[in-house]
Amino acid sequence: MRLQLLIFLVLSFSAAAVAQVPGADQTDVYLPLLKGKKVGMVVNQTSVIGERLSVDSLHALGVNIKMVFGPEHGFRGNASNGAEVGDEKDPATGIPIISLYGQKRQPTPKEMAALDVLIFDIADVGCRFYTNINTLAEVMDACAKANKELIIFDRPNPNGFVDGPILDMENKSGIGKFPIPITHGMTIGEFAQMVNGEGWLPNKTKCKIKVIKVKDYRHDMYYTMPVSPSPNLNTQQSVILYPSLCLFEGTIVSQGRGTYMPFTVLGAPALKGIFDFTFKPVSIPGKSETPLHQNETCYGIDLRQYDEKALHAAGKVNIRWIMDMYKAYPYKDKFFDRSQSAQIGDINKLAGVKAFKQQIIAGASEEEIRKSWEPGLSRYKQMRKKYVLYP
């Protein structure tokens, strides 16, 4: 009995001692690749080495960083969702910062000609409708056209499971460009390999990539993001709830934008008398300037105490919340009605298929809805195996 207890304690200590080491932290692996080269970096506030921005760290190490490219939310991560971001100069280093979420979505041929290599170092949350993978593909396209290498500092995916309907390409948009499920179950490095392998770049060109892998990482690990990935994903719980709650952006129900607890609460004014929990969205610069139901009291549910680790372990997008909220909403014809507010997104583009909305309206069971995702979901899982770098 004592021996079994000792073995258990040793194994538990060993498991706790193993920590994922992101690609960016492995300077000994990639610094030789950057020596004597003119470097560009695609980064945001999640691009850190330890607790310091990777741009600052590599600049201090003598890497010749010629320019920095910032995605949605900007280089420092303080721009609202969907807001255009302008060019600027980094006050800390003097390096030009060029926006990829303003007038353009990828580096220009002139910018690429001034570089020898480009680095992509942005943490992702593993969802089709999170725009970092779109930025990745645009950068890969620019590198392919310029015949330049893209070095990817890989990072863990906090939602590393595969679930949801495969995007029907007739619903292709800025929040869904690839035929993948809601949660694709890949790191940025793995997804880059899939983009190349499946011919998703224009004219099926391929980008020369080198992935600096994460050490000691598995897809089923619960990973806590050290830096908030965007202004409205400001807690670990919001990151884990995001794949399920972002579907509500296609409804009249607020997910808490305009509060300091976004993507952890759900509610709408019309749910008064049905739910007791309340919150009031207001304009918050840098987070949500004109949120849905601004200055109105919303009634709904508080998910801040929800066991996000259990949700992660389940490995599924929770569609019960949207099913139940539709049943509770008193004005069914307005639930998905985009004409009710400019803030309501297109549920078909978020879900990726038109059937999902119709299934919710028709009262289909969760089992029936999930069954309709096949055989596409199983085919995707099989295809994904060709590109994974981690167990």
Same domain? 194 vs 76: yes
Would you place residue 71 in the very low, low, confident or very high pLDDT band (cuts 50, 70, 90)? confident
Question: Residue 94 pLDDT > 90, yes or no?
Answer: no
Q: Are residues 200 and 279 in the same domain?
A: no
Does the residue 388 lie in any domain?
A: no
Classify residue 323: in a domain, yes or no: yes
Q: CA 160 → CA 126, 182, 222, 236, 240, distances in Å?
A: 7, 11, 9, 14, 10
Number of residues that this document lists for the chain: 391
Residue pair 292/258 in contact by the 8 Å Cβ criterion: yes
- Which helix (H) or strand (E) segment is 265 a member of? strand 265-268
Same domain as 33, residue 175: yes
Does residue 138 carry a pLDDT above 70? yes
Same structural domain, 190 and 300: no
Q: Are residues 113 and 258 in the same domain?
A: no
Whether residues 68 and 146 fall in one domain: yes
Residue 112 lies in a domain: yes
Domain boundary among 212, 244, 260: 212
Bridge partners of 163? 183
Residue type, position 72, single letter: E
Give the pair of three-digit tokens for residue 44.
């945001």
294 within a domain of the structure (yes/no): yes
Q: What pLDDT is stored for residue 74 in this prediction?
A: 53
**Is residue 150 in a domain?**
yes
246, 197: one domain:
no
Q: Residue range 221-250: average pLDDT? A: 96
Q: Quick one: 247 exposed, middle or buried, by C-beta within 10 A (0-12, 13-18, 19+)?
A: buried
**Last residue within a domain, chosen from 177, 212, 247:** 212
Number of structural domains found in the chain: 2
If you average pLDDT over residues 224-247, what whole number do you get?
A: 96
Question: Are residues 59 and 206 both part of a single domain?
Answer: yes
Domain carrying residue 251:
236-353
Comparing 6-10, 93-97, 259-263, 362-366, which segment has the lowest mean pLDDT? 6-10
For residue 373, the 8-state DSSP code is T
Same-domain pairing of 250 and 317: yes
**Of 150, 177, 212, at which residue does a domain stop?**
212
Question: CATH code at 328?
Answer: 3.90.1150
| Distance in angstroms (rounded) separating the CA atoms of residues 350 and 66 | 37
Same domain, 272 and 176: no
Q: What is the pLDDT of residues 335-380, one digit of tens each?
A: 999 988 989 999 999 999 999 999 999 999 999 999 999 999 999 9
Instruction: Specify whether 206 is located in the same domain as 303.
Output: no
Question: What is the Cα 309 distance to its own chain's centre?
Answer: 18
- CATH number where 202 lies: 3.40.50.12170
| Environment class of 208 (CB within 10 Å of its CB; exposed 0-12, middle 13-18, buried 19+) | middle
pLDDT tens-place string over residues 291-347: 999 999 999 999 999 999 999 999 999 999 999 999 999 999 999 999 889 899 999
In a domain, 2, yes or no: no
Residue 371 domain-assigned (yes or no)? no
Mean pLDDT taken over the chain: 92
Structural domain includes residue 179: yes
Which amino acid makes up residue 178?
Answer: F
246 and 201 together in one domain = no
Q: What is the pLDDT averaged over residues 216-241?
A: 96
